[in-house]
Structure 1
Amino acid sequence: MSVRMIDGVRELRTLVGSELGVSPWLEVAQDRVDAFADITEDRQWIHVDPEMAADGPFGGTVAHGYLTLALLPTLAARTYRVDDISAVVNYGLERVRFPRPIRVGEHIRDRITLASMGEFRAGARLVIDHYVEVRGSTSPACVAQTVSLLASAGGDS
């Protein structure tokens, strides 16, 4: 799967309402969940204790919801790239839901759609719809709408 190249902010504007792509699958491994737990100090047993979690509500350890959100920029970078952008800043979230847990060892991918786009200084304000799928499941693990600010390197606004 290759990264979709978008020719600057001008081409991006033509893609509003379109799917920008689907990321490659990414395994959510226990070491990633453990590292996130250490960094955030959220060491709930449902995330970090496989033995105890085996008898818990999910039948094993699960990823943190906020880990899923933290992976969105990585999944997006593996899906599309906009040329002539000097910086991308996470501005916020419009809405987030976690309809299904991600069990450790499952594979996820992100289906990304450009919901809307507006002006922002020397660049653009993007609203992106993320639909995080779990391999083999019909229910998404995360549905989120992110807001990002793009600074255009070439003044292509």
Structure 2
Amino acid sequence: MSQLTIGSFEDFEKYIGLELGVSDYHKITQEQINQFATATLDHQWIHTDPERAKKEGAFGDTIAHGYLTLSIVPYLWGQVVDVQNLRMMVNYGIENLRFAQPVLVNNEVRLNANLKSVVNLRGTIKAEVNVKLEIKDQKKPAFSGVLVFLYHFQ
């Protein structure tokens, strides 16, 4: 993985329509799924009961919460792009998010990011990034959508 460094609006602008990069793979473990269930109070058995999931579930094992896979985006995004000279960054929104297939326990996932657009809004930079959470050895991504970030540079 080669991390891209961005330090200004002009740096972002050069990558409109281009791939920004791909993160390393991250393995989703049962421990991580259980911790997410505890944090979100979502203890549905398809996530937290491996024995029942193997016997009764549609996927043959436990699956990660869709929102767990979404919540690791900041970690993976930080591997793709190093935004420097930053005063503040705000997660502004997610557009057209679609969960395409479940992430089974012990699957490895990575973020693939492409810059859709970047706009200077009176000094606040609005970046729209097309993302896919790819599952190792799978054709369909776990999800795809457009992440919208607001960057305030120094």
Length-normalised TM-score, structure 2: 0.95
User: Following TM superposition, by how much is the alpha carbon of 1:6 offset from its aligned partner in structure 2, in angstroms?
Assistant: 2.2
Q: Partner of 1:36 in structure 2? A: 36
User: Following TM superposition, by how much is the alpha carbon of 1:2 offset from its aligned partner in structure 2, in angstroms?
Assistant: 3.5
User: Following TM superposition, by how much is the alpha carbon of 1:4 offset from its aligned partner in structure 2, in angstroms?
Assistant: 1.7
Q: Partner of 2:85 in structure 1? A: 84
Unpaired segments of 5 or more residues in structure 2? none
Identity %: 35
Correspondence list, 1:61-76, <5 A: 61-76=62-77
Q: Separation in 1 of the partners of 2:146 and 2:32? A: 23
Unpaired segments of 5 or more residues in structure 1? none
2:48 is aligned with 1:48: yes
Q: Partner of 1:20 in structure 2? A: 20
User: Following TM superposition, by how much is the alpha carbon of 1:125 offset from its aligned partner in structure 2, in angstroms?
Assistant: 0.5
Give the conservation status (yes or no) of the 8 Å contact 2:9–2:120.
Answer: no
Give the conservation status (yes or no) of the 8 Å contact 2:7–2:86.
Answer: no
Q: Partner of 1:144 in structure 2? A: 145
User: Following TM superposition, by how much is the alpha carbon of 1:122 offset from its aligned partner in structure 2, in angstroms?
Assistant: 2.5
Q: Secondary structure at the match of 1:36?
A: helix
Q: How far does the alpha carbon of each residue in 1:2-59 deviate from its partner, in whole angstroms, 9 at most, with x for none?
A: 3221232211111111110000000011111111111110110000010101121010
Q: Secondary structure at the match of 2:68?
A: helix
Paired letter, 1:27: K
4+ residue runs of structure 1 moved beyond 4 angstroms? Answer: none
Q: Secondary structure at the match of 2:72?
A: helix
Aligned length: 153
